[in-house]
A and B are shown apart, each in its own frame.
Chain A
Amino acid sequence: MLNVDHLGKTYGEGSDAVEAIGDLEFEVRENEFVCIVGPSGCGKTTLLKCMSGLLAPSRGEVRLHDQRIDGPPERMALVFQEYGRSLYPWMSVRQNVAFPLRRKRLGKDEASNLVEQAVESVDLTGFLDRYPWELSGGMQQRVAIARALAYQPEILLMDEPFASVDAQTRADLEDLILEVRRQYGVTVVFVTHDIDESVYLGDRIVVLTPAPTTVQETLDVDLPAARDQLETKELPEFARLRAHVYRSIKRKQPAAEPEHAAA
């Protein structure tokens, strides 16, 4: 569904050139939850910006349904890490979630149904007429997720969305995103630097190398589909995967034999 094809990105020119992404190649399949994990400063955000059409790649391309992405596609939504700067502070929760729907020219009822449904799925129904700055950080990120869901994307990109909330809120948000993903049947690409999070959430994990970034390895997460913060994390397979990803990130050289080649 989404193909990253020999993607490369270099910032600057000549002697000042910084190669952020070397050569990336992987695929995201329909209905998959793919976690992209890598060491800090490995160009994860650059990758996501190229995937969302916000940034033009220097080499290669990203394709959605075999169509080259050269601007933000209509069927894609993006959730940023900085929820506080991604929500419109002069709009209420309802207005924030409804705003991207304006271009879709839906009927009034249809639009407000989508909005209310999305807000309900993130448990914020009682806060529809509040402003983002009246809410806690975790709640603000839920508003941003509701906004993405109401937009009805086929594919949802998330850029370290839970990196700036506290641990408890983070666990709640992780379960929430698994739940709404099931409910909305949306494909998710989730960028994180947290290894536990990537194993807990993902169907598949793409491990990146430090910049200039390439794919270190891709591995399938063989855990039961229904995840639970306690039970899943106690499974031996969870511990094994976690350790594997950890070693994979620590290793500087690309893996000689990836366990599971990218399909």
Chain B
Amino acid sequence: MTTRRQRLLAAGLEVTVPVLLLVIWGLYSSSGSENSYYFPPLTDILSTFADTWLFERVGSDMVPSLVRMGLGFGIAVVVAISAGLLLGLSAQARRAAAPIVEFLRAIPPPALLPFAILVIGVGNSMKVFIIAFVCIWPILLNTIDGVTGVDPTLRETTRVYGVTPRDRLWRVMLPAASPQIFAGMRTSLSLALILMVISEMVASTNGIGYFVLQSQRTFAIPEMWSGILLLGILGYTLNGVFVLIERRVLRWHRGARASALG
């Protein structure tokens, strides 16, 4: 019973606090302070939001942004997990790749923008490339960690029963590493959103990032705010969806951990 009540309380807090903050913001911004040009009343922002994003610019700006982000993230997941499994299985490959991996992931991603624009151009592929490039590292490193951390007894069991290399990879190593892989993917997801915005601010003719910057440059302040609001909502929603998927896929992991703790 207590846990049920606690859960209700937690859910209540999760709803009440943001609503409260919005109300305070609304009251403060409508009280007519001097800076109201840059901080327009919340009601203005919300009505602009409704005009802009329900659903006039969804097709022209939101969809392209989400497609870039999805593609970049998707490519990163596939590349990073495959490479991570390979590197995780071979200590030699790991040693050989370590300096390169450490170097590439140390490069601040926006620094690659000029290069990417020069080589790939200003189109979609450049943005997808930048997003994928950034998202790879957390997933790659976590996959390697996950694979090298597989319990020795589980490895020996797999060897004793002569499990084929293919099954060993896809049915033992991958699921065993999946809790860590998901943790890496979660980090990468927020990076994907950030890089999506940055890449669209530098060279683009559409997208949410482009819209925010363009609004600022044309002094369409409520529009600018509505774009920022949309990004926040997107980030929140994407993370929520991700957590739901993770809970489903890693149900065994939570169960096993709970039973291990007693």
Give the interface of A toward B (CB within 8 A). Answer: 49, 52, 54, 72, 74, 76-78, 80, 82, 84-86, 88-90, 99-100, 102-103, 131-134, 147, 151
Contact = CB atoms under 8 A, between A and B. Distances in A.
B171 interface: yes
A88 B255 contact: no
Interface of B: 151, 153-154, 156-157, 159-164, 167, 171-172, 175-176, 178, 252-253, 255-256, 258-260
Contacts of A133: 252, 255-256, 258-260
Contacts of A82: 153
B70 to A, nearest CB: 27
A84 B162 contact: no
Nearest to A52: B160
A85 B252 contact: no
Given A90-B252, A133-B255, A133-B260, A72 B151 contact: no
B160 A72 contact: yes
A151 B164 CA distance: 15
**Which of A74, A76, A77, A85 lies at the interface centre, i.e. has the most chain B CB atoms within 10 A of its CB?**
A85
A84 B255 CA distance: 13
Contacts of B171: 99
Contacts of B162: 72, 74, 100, 103
A151 B163 CA distance: 12
B160 A90 contact: no
A54 B156 contact: yes
B163 A80 contact: no
Contacts of A52: 160
Given A54-B159, A103-B167, 9 more contacts: A72-B159, A72-B162, A80-B157, A86-B154, A90-B175, A90-B176, A99-B167, A131-B255, A133-B259
Given A85-B153, A85-B154, A86-B157, A100 B163 contact: yes
Contact of B154 (A74, A88, A102, A134): A88
B252 A100 contact: no
A150 B203 CA distance: 62
A206 B250 CA distance: 45
B252 A89 contact: yes
B153 A99 contact: no
A250 to B, nearest CB: 31
A72 B156 CA distance: 10
17 contacts: A52-B160, A54-B159, A72-B162, A77-B161, A78-B156, A80-B156, A80-B157, A82-B153, A86-B154, A86-B157, A89-B253, A90-B178, A100-B162, A100-B163, A103-B167, A133-B260, A134-B255
Nearest to B257: A133
B163 A86 contact: no
A134 B259 contact: yes
A100 B95 CA distance: 32
A68 B252 CA distance: 40
B259 A100 contact: no
A84 B260 contact: yes
A88 B260 contact: no
A82 B156 CA distance: 12
Nearest to A102: B167
Nearest to A84: B260
Given A102-B167, A103-B164, A133-B255, A88 B175 contact: yes
Nearest to B164: A103
Nearest to B151: A85
A131 B126 CA distance: 45
Contacts of B151: 85
B172 to A, nearest CB: 7
A81 to B, nearest CB: 9
Contacts of B258: 133
A156 to B, nearest CB: 11
Contact of B153 (A72, A80, A89, A90): A80
A86 B252 CA distance: 15
A99 B163 contact: yes
Contacts of A89: 252-253, 255-256
Q: Closest 9 CB pairs between A and B?
A: A100-B161, A85-B153, A133-B259, A133-B256, A89-B256, A90-B252, A90-B175, A78-B160, A72-B160
Among B160, B161, B259, residue most surrounded by chain A Cβ atoms (within 10 Å)? B160
A131 B255 CA distance: 9
Given A88-B175, A99-B171, A131-B252, A54 B164 contact: no
A86 B151 CA distance: 9
A223 B89 CA distance: 49
